[in-house]
Chains A and B, each alone.
Chain A
Amino acid sequence: MDDFVDGLSEVTCDVLVIGGGTAGPMAALKAKQKNPALNVVLLEKANVKRSGAISMGMDGLNNAVVPGYATPEQYTKEITIANDGIVDQAPVFKYAARCYDIIQELDRFGIRFQKDANGDFDLKKVHHLGTYVLPMPNGETVKKALYRQLKRERILISNRIMATRLLTAKDGRIAGAVAVNTRTAEFLVLRAKTVILCMGAAGRLGLPHSGYLFGTYENPTNSGDGYAMAYHAGAALANLECYQINPLIKDYNGPACAYVAGPFGAYTANAEGKRFIESDCWSGQMMQEFYNELQSGKGPVFLKLNHLHPDTVGEIADILHRVERPSRGRFHEARGTDYRERMIEMHISEIGFCSGHSASGVFVDEYARTTVSGLYAAGDMASVPHNYMLGAFTNGAVAGEHAAEVAQEIDLPDYDADFVRLERERILAPTRRTDGIPPNQLEYKARRLVNDYLQPPKVTARMQIGQARLAEVREDFDMALVARNAHELLRALEVSSILDCADMAAHASLYRTESRWGLYHNRVDYPEKDDENWFCHTLLRKVDGRMVSEKRAIQPYIVPIETEERTAYERLRVSNQA
């Protein structure tokens, strides 16, 4: 294993789903169910059994819109306000209207949601406003249940094969993808009528404070490959300056799980053990408050459980140490941190792109369509804001159904054989060298530069230096990168995505000359929010080989937001000065 094999294969399918984490399996299932005659392929660079953000399960739904607890209108309104109004509501509303069906379907799959003694879904209120949290204290079986469904529907699964570029036809329509076997470096051309990208967040962009390349908040396999592929295929990407930054357990870098511990009475506190967060919803505003407190004399910040009854703490610990990031119990044990006695030190994550928690992603409409004909995107990499795991499932379903409908009505598009030849040369270049710079060193440097120059508070001159330094690293990538086996080649190709995402982060951040979304886009030299010029989306895309950004008007709201509701949010805004 890992030795290079010179190989080239071609397969043809109707619907190609790239990424087997959360949205991908659901997209593949729904495409197949829509039309069982279709040939549906699910491509995954790891193994579908345990890939993606929910590798070890998930401890709850953060945004369940369940009749009797919340309405799609209410949810759409809250998401709009949480995102400072920069939202196309159609996909948000569609998600909110559909997600309860998906919850019920997942329940039938055997995914275990918390139920009360009468067997009804047991929702919890976490934020000040609606009731959206459905805990999954036994949510460790999510991937297993999905895998079982994929086998049952006889979806063609292709593991350990990494897509690198999308294929397009002469008329610009999608035609498939190019991929490489991560254990042999053999080449694969996948021709398809429609392609659905479900490749997760760009979570390996910033470098964690620990300095360990793989100690990221997101699953480090989510290296932004989808963002990079969509960009190179000419698709528009929305609001990339609205970074993902999350509160986390310091050094361990896993989520603090306020959604798990909150309903039990735990909260985020400063060093005095007092609450400090004013913001009502998960947002850049909240992260700005968190950042300010960290920098202040009352910092750092902690997760406080030590005021709870020891039995309650035991119950919380049991969930946290079994589901989603189960190794955290080991982390705390080694440090001697007993939740019952001491508060747990928190910090903020490295930067990334992820619509699951913020708003940046490949632009999609309410059918999960990107701006490239035949190309769809869903989950953490698509632009539906704050959509979390349930959004990945729901929008994956939307994408799968629509892509199946389109695929049954069109012929297989042609692709450019010369493009494939050139892509093969690009990919294999690091394997032709015997010495040079290995991928881990190149990656460390690129991500260290992201931290030094691109993370907020954002400063124009600093970001420009960052661009210049990153361009030097890219030159090293092109001229000196060496991969001695197929595994190193996998890492090298991920670095390529990381560099693309870093360039996009800098470009998008420089384009929006105002501050918005709290910490996510806190531009020190443009400290004010400028609604007159910037109450709009930004779209970034590749035009004639160059990165360009443009404004895009917000689509008229379906659910009107009263001025008073918006100003209520304004009053909660905090200073972006630490």
Chain B
Amino acid sequence: MSVFDPFEDFGDAEEIALRLADADPAVRRLAVIDLAEAASPDVLRHLLAAAGDSDASVRLQVAIALSDFGTADAAAGLAALVADADNGVARAAADSLAELKDAAAAPAVLPLATHESAFVRASAFRGLKGLRAPAALGPALAAMKDASAKVRAEALGVVAYLKREETLPSLIAATRDTDASVRAVAVNALSFTSQGAAATAVAAALDDENWQVRAAAAESLGRIGHASAIDDLTVGLADDYWQVRQKCLTALGRLKALPAVQEIAALLASDLPSLRKEAAAALGEIADPSTRDALTAHASDADPDVRKTVRWALTRIG
């Protein structure tokens, strides 16, 4: 009868590392996979050595493996791999950079902020974002003027995560960026502040040519909570896109927009149940008795969600 050890072994890093010298790149690659799963801290040294392997598939595996280590050393290894000549390796390294958690890793990544490749610069800011490192603020603000939209978007992310009132001018400028995805992030990012200038800039984005930016602006105005946006949001209720009209309704509800109740109530007659529901929800938030009759007229709406929301709104009015 046999006796067996039921436990997964923790892996001997030195023993596995011997296979990194094998002539076959597939064997070296498998050694990297095994190293990544070994529990001992000294595996990092071997992984960093393998980052210089001549075979791209081995370097790719190292780039993936390094996401498990949040240390500054691992970040330095990734900083080298993100500029790899092989696109697959570079992409994997960029993804691993985005997994960094420890602010101590920031110094290893910061030098990439001025790298000649736009992909590397963007990946650097993508990695720096979650670290919320104050040292990244300066380079990120500078990169918000980068020629590449991808770099501007990622740099904007770094600035937005730091939530500093003194960066408002840059964030506001980004709401007028030439790239729609940058503008959408910028209007979202301004929702951390209650400054009037932010509300004005975001309200202006309700006229953006891109409907996603307009929808994001409406959502953001609801969070900023500035009554000055009510007029613009009311105009937004006639937007060509129902998605934007819906977000404007939600925002007007959050702002308790008493002056807009008639325009909101008019949308209770919309063909789209989603808009009828959102209009009822907004009227419930505002709870103005003048809308009781309009709501009552829809208490038996054909759509159950609209019906429920109308009834809830009526209980709010009392």
The residues of A with any CB-CB pair to B shorter than 8 Å are 5-9, 11, 41, 108, 110, 116-119, 128, 148, 151-152, 154, 156-159, 161, 181, 184, 186, 188, 265, 267, 274-278, 280, 307, 309, 311-312
Contacts and interface: CB of A to CB of B under 8 A. Distances in A.
A110 B5 CA distance: 31
A117 B6 contact: no
Given A181-B4, A186-B2, A311 B212 contact: yes
A7 B2 CA distance: 4
Contacts of A11: 6
A119 B160 contact: yes
A6 B303 CA distance: 65
B308 A128 contact: yes
Contact of A265 (B8, B188, B211, B243): B243
A161 B4 CA distance: 12
Given A41-B7, A151-B37, A151-B39, 6 more contacts: A116-B191, A152-B39, A157-B7, A181-B4, A186-B2, A267-B305
Contacts of B139: none
B2 A6 contact: yes
A154 B305 CA distance: 50
Contacts of A148: 68
A276 B307 CA distance: 11
Interface in B234-263: 241, 243, 246
B305 to A, nearest CB: 6
Interface string B185-224: 1101101100000000000000000011000000000000
A277 B5 CA distance: 54
A177 to B, nearest CB: 12
B274 A265 contact: yes
B77 interface: no
B119 interface: no
B161 A158 contact: no
B309 interface: yes
A128 B315 CA distance: 14
13 contacts: A7-B2, A7-B3, A9-B3, A11-B6, A41-B7, A117-B160, A119-B160, A151-B37, A154-B39, A157-B7, A161-B6, A188-B4, A309-B211
B231 to A, nearest CB: 25
Contact of B4 (A151, A186, A312): A186
B232 to A, nearest CB: 20
B309 A128 contact: yes
Contacts of A276: 304
Given A119-B132, A119-B160, A8 B308 contact: no
Nearest to B1: A6
Contacts of A188: 4, 6
B25 interface: no
The 8 A-B pairs at the shortest CB distance, nearest first, are namely: A7-B2, A117-B189, A117-B188, A119-B161, A158-B6, A157-B8, A151-B39, A118-B192
B305 A7 contact: no
Interface residues of B, number: 42
B179 to A, nearest CB: 15
Nearest to B100: A110
Interface string B26-46: 000000000001010000000
A6 B3 CA distance: 9
Contacts of A8: 1, 3
Nearest to A141: B99
Contacts of A154: 10, 39
Contacts, number: 89
Nearest to B69: A148
A156 B243 CA distance: 52
A312 B211 CA distance: 11
Contacts of B192: 118
Interface string B152-195: 00000100110100000000000000000000011011011000
B273 interface: yes
Contacts of A9: 3-6
Contacts of B1: 6-8
B302 to A, nearest CB: 7
A278 B39 contact: no
B130 interface: yes
Contacts of A151: 10, 37, 39
Nearest to A179: B6
A117 B188 CA distance: 6
A5 B273 CA distance: 64
A41 B308 CA distance: 50
Nearest to B193: A118
B304 A128 contact: no
Nearest to B38: A151
A158 B302 contact: no
B19 interface: no
Contact of A119 (B2, B68, B99, B130): B130
A158 B39 contact: no
B8 A275 contact: no
A450 B181 CA distance: 52
A274 B312 contact: no
B145 interface: no
B101 interface: yes
Contacts of B308: 128, 278, 280
Nearest to A186: B4
A188 B305 CA distance: 55
Contact of A110 (B3, B101, B129): B101
A54 B37 CA distance: 20
A443 to B, nearest CB: 27
A300 B318 CA distance: 39
A311 B157 CA distance: 22
Nearest to A160: B6
Task: Identify which of A11, A110, A117, A158 gathers the most chain B CB atoms within 10 Å of its CB.
Answer: A117
B191 A118 contact: yes
A312 B274 CA distance: 15
Given A148-B68, A158-B6, A186-B2, A117 B157 contact: yes
Nearest to B11: A151
A278 B211 CA distance: 32
A158 B7 contact: yes
Contacts of A278: 304, 308
Interface string B139-153: 000000000000000
Contacts of A158: 6-8
B216 to A, nearest CB: 9
A312 to B, nearest CB: 7
A228 to B, nearest CB: 21
Contact of B303 (A159, A274, A307): A274
Task: Identify which of B3, B4, B101 gathers the most chain A CB atoms within 10 Å of its CB.
Answer: B4
Interface string B105-125: 000000000000000000000
Contact of B8 (A117, A159, A311): A159
